[in-house]
Structures are given as structure tokens and as C-alpha cells.
A and B are shown apart, each in its own frame.
Chain A
Amino acid sequence: MTSCSTARLRGLLAVLVLAACTLLAPPARAHPHVWVVMKNALVVAPDGTVTGVRNAWTFDDMFSTYATQGIPSKTPGAFTRDDLKDLAEVNVTSLKEFDFFTYAKLDGKTASFTDPVDAWLEFHDSRLTLHFTLPLKTPVKARTIDLEVYDPTYFVDFSFAEETPFTLAGAPAACTVSVHKPDDAALTKKIQRMTEAQFAEEMSNVGELFGNKVMVRCP
């Protein structure tokens, strides 16, 4: 033990700590494998009660091809709504596990949804579009409705369509809607400023950074 100086031990300790930090940083970093372009709507009853959200999600061509692989159809490469009936069912069932990636707040209170209704798939231009309506567990009259759509793990990248990203179905004309899409340039800048440690920490919920916010305000 005589040759082992305290300084050397301290150096070793530093190396060990560094190595441990590198190795033990959460390796849960994802990047999207599925892209969804959304056209959603808030469903409002004639009396002004918010009943749910109606979604139309269009998937990218690679995922659409994967999802339709092996599904029989009369014309190869073209699928009818009926051909895709089972797949639509599977889709909405699996989405439940992920809370449909939809986070709603009505008058500031977190709202939850029941099982989706009217789910069907459309195949057009080698892209699948999943239509489904998410009914609110407890329909309420609300003045502020805030919606966010994102995948916390960022496996799925959600973005709103350029045209009519969000509509108000049956809402009083006085209600206003504003859609906030994540600004790519600002987001990239923000991410690039993040340190490795911050990033690792944030990664468990990185999808939130890419969140798409909808704000509906009714008088």
C-alpha cells in the first residue's frame, strides 16, 4: 500500500465517477419512427356542453405500409374502409394504453376520456388516416378548453395539418380557437442548448417539448 498515494486514489475516484455517470445516464432517448398529421375537432352539443374530441390522424407512408402489410384487399395496394376494419379496432385499443396521446384541461381541470367511438381507417395516397372520436368521461360546459397532443416518449411525432388543423364542431360562434405548433427553429435551438444531463433528465417526457397545444376560449 505504500506506493498508492492519496492523489492517485483521488484521480481514480474522479475517473470512476465520470465513467459511472456516462454509463448510468438513462439510455431512454427516442426519436420518432411514426409521424402523424392531425386534423382534430372539438365536439360541442347544441347547449354548449363539450362532449369530446374528434380526431383524424394521417400516418406517414412508411408506417402506413407497415400497418397494412399482409391485410387482404381486392385491389393490391388499395384498401377499403371494410378491409381496414379490424386494424382500426386494434389501433384504438392500443392507443388506450397511451391515453390516446391527448391531454385535456377543461376550465383548468384535467379531463379524462372514455373508450373511443366511431373509429375507422381510410387509405388514400398510400397513407392511412385514423378517424375516431374521444368522448369526455363527464361532458361539461367549459369556457376554457386546453388540449395537448404528444407522445411523451417521442416515438410518435404529432403535428397539426397546415389547413384546418382544429375546428369547433357545433360550438357557439363566439368561441375562438388558437393552435400552437412547436416552432421547429426555436425548438432545435432549445434542444441544442440543453446539456447531456438535462437532456437525459428531460427525455422521459421529451415529447412534451414537441407538444401541440390547442386553446379554445368561449365567452
Chain B
Amino acid sequence: MPVISRRRWQAPLALCLGVLAVLVVSAGLADALAQSPFGVRTPAPPPASAETGLVGWVLAQQAQFYRSLSGLIRAAKADGTAMWTLFGVSFVYGILHAAGPGHGKAVISSYLIANEETWRRGIVLSFASALLQALVAIAVVAVAAVALNATAATMTEAVRWIETASYALIVVIGVRLVLTKGRGFLRAVREQRAEAGADGGALVLAPALSGVPAGTGFLHAEPHRDGLARSHVHGSAIHAEPAAAEPHDHAHHDHAHHGHDHHHGSACACGHAHHNDHDHAHDHHHHDHDGCCSHGPAPAELAGPGGWSRGLAAIVAVGLRPCSGAILVLVFALSQGLFWAGVGSTLLMGLGTALTVSGIATLAVGAKGVASRLAGAKDGRGALMVRGLEVAAACAVVLFGLALLGGYMASERMI
């Protein structure tokens, strides 16, 4: 079915371009605003805003906290109790710093939105990635500076490699999300059309969905890693995959680049517990034409064992890149003969970072929850919009990754 597979690729791409267009337009608007007399570049002070200057405050505060770290490490050398101040300041610095650049806030939030995640998973992802980030910083300095006595140039080079890998991984995760979510969105669009058709009294459901004659069910060909194209024929009564009757075992295939879409016919079963044992990016679409299986996407299903391993990729992508501040603190602590104080400081920075990022991640998941509720998960058009949001979020992950990879974001430039 080459026609279908081509369509599958084209439409997410078109969608992505659409999102890009919106971005460009809004960026243009922002530019226009900045040049207005109310922009900050003009000599006149900007008009007082109703919003609090939280960002500016954070910027000023974290710089102060950061600068005090070296003095505190020195103080801790002479007086052990200063260590507690050092740890406290590190923790607060972590909270404030994460509100600033990098630290994968945007990536994690977009990922959560695109991936129908629960807030609990959002918090776990945030903490795990922040912990990993701290551990990577400690490992880099421990290996490079303590063990090998490498120079700053070597360390910077090592960090650059780690950074590149992490950004590339973000792009990969984003592309995977765009493909699976884009397809889900398109299917929802087609369902919508099909429903509209059904309302008109015509029984054109199957052709409208898949372009194949009614009665044959849904047929799609997908290129597998092993080079063979396998056709899955999902009968109109039940979806066969991945039930025991499936002739081949899906577990050994890499399903990262193609989602499985289950089309439920008139006699579909509602139980989905069996999906938990594999890590496909599933799009569950439920056809409600016969009043069957009327429920929205179930995030709990995605949090199964397979779901966690998928989350691991996000944790690694976001947490791999150590932050410059932590490395500087560790090297400074090392020079003062207090490496472990630097380790403690770094871990507490990570804890602070985790708190901020979890807060933002929870907000993101909550906002989507509100959106879904407003839309009504069962509603065709509402569900469509939620799916559209997911695709936009997936596109955002790709864009963040590309921007970071291309060095367009100087946000966390390593020295």
C-alpha cells in the first residue's frame, strides 16, 4: 500500500510546516512589538506592566547565589558548618537556575504533552533527569579532573560531545513522536470525515478511513527493520495485534518509527491491559459508531513497563548534558581540596532543579488535562484538537532539539 504509506509521511510533515508557519508569524509579531515605543530598546522606560518581573528577579537572584558559591566553598574549608550554608544556597540556586535556560523544561513539558503522560510520570521524569544531570557533572569532573588531571579544554570538549549526543537524542525522540502522533491526528481527521459521511446516511466508513474497499478491514504495509514489508490485516471484528494469534512476534522489532493503530470494528473489546507488555507507540482510536468502547486515551496504559523504558530515552536525552555551573563548582571545590563538598552542592542543585522542572511539567500536564476536558475526550472535534496539540508539542520537541543541535540557542553555552 505505497499510497497509504506516502500519505502517512506527507501529512505529519504538512502539519509540522503549519506549526512552523505559526511560529514564524508569532516571532514576526514579537519583533514588531519590540520595535514599538513600548519595546525596551527605547530610551524611555517601558510602561509598568501588570505582570510581575519574575524572570528578571530570578536572573538577578541566581547570579548572586551562584557568585556566593565560591566564597562558601572557601569558608567551608575553614569552618565545617559553612557547608550547610553552601548546601542550602546550592539548593536555592538549583530552584532558580532551572527557571532559567536549558534544563530541558521545555523539552520535558512538550514531551509530556505529546505523549499523553500523567503528572506523576512528569515528576519522575523531572527528578530522574535532574539526578542524571548532577551525576554526569560529577562523573565528568571525577574522571577528567580528579583521575586524569585533564585540562579545562579537555573537559569542555568532553562536555561538548555529551551535549551533542543529548541534543541529537532529543531530535530523535521528537521525530518519533511527530510520526506516531501525526499519524494519530490524521486518522482522527479521517474519522471525523467518516463520521460526517455517516451522518449523511452513507455507509462509506471503511473506504474513507483507509482507502480500501469496505469489508477487507484496515490494511497497512509497514517497512520493518529487517527490510521485509509485512502487512497487517486487521479484521473488521477484532484487532488481531498483538494477540497470541499474531503470526509474528512484535517484541523483536523496532517499533520506534511506526505506530500501530488499532481500529476497532463493531464488535471490539474494551480491555487493553495486554498492551502493557510492549513498547509500541500505540495510538488507540476507538470508533464509537456502534456505541462501543467509548473512552478516551488512557494514560495509565502508557505507564506500563514498556512506557517506562520509553521514558528512559527522554530522561537520558534531557539529563545527559551537565550544566556549566555544576562543573565550575566541582572543579573549584576540587582545587580547594573539598571535592565532596562540590559533590554535595551539585546534588542539591539537582534537587532544586528537579523541583522547578516538576512544577512546570505538572503545569503542562494539567493544562493539557484542562484542554482535554474542555474539548471532551469523546467528542470527535475536541479529540481532534487534543491530538493536534500533541502533534504541535511533538514538533516543538524536534524544533528544540534542532535549535540546540544547531547552536542557535546559546542558552547553556559551555565555556
Name A residues whose Cβ lies closer than 8 Å to a Cβ of B.
1, 3-4, 8-9, 11-13, 15-16, 18-20, 22-24, 26-35, 60-63, 65-71, 77, 90, 153, 155, 157, 188, 190-202, 209
Once the chains bind, are A155 and B413 in contact (CB under 8 Å)? yes
Q: How far is the CB of B160 from chain A (nearest CB, A)?
A: 12
A62 in contact with B328 given A30-B410, A191-B53 (CB within 8 Å): yes
Q: How far is the CB of A79 from chain B (nearest CB, A)?
A: 12
B11 contacts partner chain A, Cβ-Cβ < 8 Å? no
B26 contacts partner chain A, Cβ-Cβ < 8 Å? yes
Q: What's the Cα separation between A61 and B74 when bound, in Å?
A: 11
Q: What's the Cα separation between A191 and B55 when bound, in Å?
A: 8
Residues from chain B with a CB closer than 8 A to the CB of A12 are 371, 374-375, 382, 385
Name B residues whose Cβ lies closer than 8 Å to a Cβ of A.
22-23, 26, 30-31, 33-34, 39-41, 45-49, 51-57, 59-60, 62-63, 66-67, 69-70, 97, 100-102, 105-106, 109-110, 113, 145, 148-155, 195, 324-325, 327-329, 331-332, 334-335, 364, 367-368, 370-371, 374-376, 378-382, 385, 388-389, 392-393, 396, 400, 409-413, 415
28 residue pairs from A and B, CB less than 8 Å apart: A4-B375, A13-B385, A16-B389, A22-B367, A24-B26, A27-B101, A28-B101, A28-B409, A29-B100, A29-B411, A30-B410, A30-B413, A31-B100, A31-B101, A33-B415, A60-B67, A62-B329, A63-B328, A66-B328, A70-B150, A155-B413, A190-B46, A191-B53, A191-B57, A194-B53, A196-B54, A198-B46, A202-B34
Known: A12-B371, A68-B152. 6 other contacts (CB 8 A): A15-B371, A28-B410, A29-B59, A31-B100, A62-B331, A192-B57
Q: How far is the CB of A183 from chain B (nearest CB, A)?
A: 13
Once the chains bind, are B195 and A1 in contact (CB under 8 Å)? yes
A19 in contact with B145 given A188-B60, A194-B40 (CB within 8 Å): no
Residues from chain B with a CB closer than 8 A to the CB of A20 are 22, 392
Once the chains bind, are A30 and B328 in contact (CB under 8 Å)? no
A70 in contact with B381 given A4-B376, A65-B331 (CB within 8 Å): no
Residues from chain B with a CB closer than 8 A to the CB of A35 are 67
Q: What's the Cα separation between A171 and B10 when bound, in Å?
A: 66
Q: What's the Cα separation between A8 and B382 when bound, in Å?
A: 9
A4 in contact with B56 given A62-B70, A65-B332, A198-B46 (CB within 8 Å): no
A201 in contact with B364 given A191-B53, A192-B57 (CB within 8 Å): no
Once the chains bind, are B154 and A27 in contact (CB under 8 Å)? no
A8 in contact with B152 given A31-B62, A66-B327, A195-B51 (CB within 8 Å): no
Q: How far is the CB of A22 from chain B (nearest CB, A)?
A: 8
Q: What's the Cα separation between A190 and B53 when bound, in Å?
A: 9
Once the chains bind, are A27 and B400 in contact (CB under 8 Å)? yes
Once the chains bind, are A191 and B152 in contact (CB under 8 Å)? no
Once the chains bind, are B101 and A30 in contact (CB under 8 Å)? yes
Closest to B56 in A: A191
Once the chains bind, are A157 and B63 in contact (CB under 8 Å)? yes
Once the chains bind, are B70 and A193 in contact (CB under 8 Å)? no
Closest to A19 in B: B367
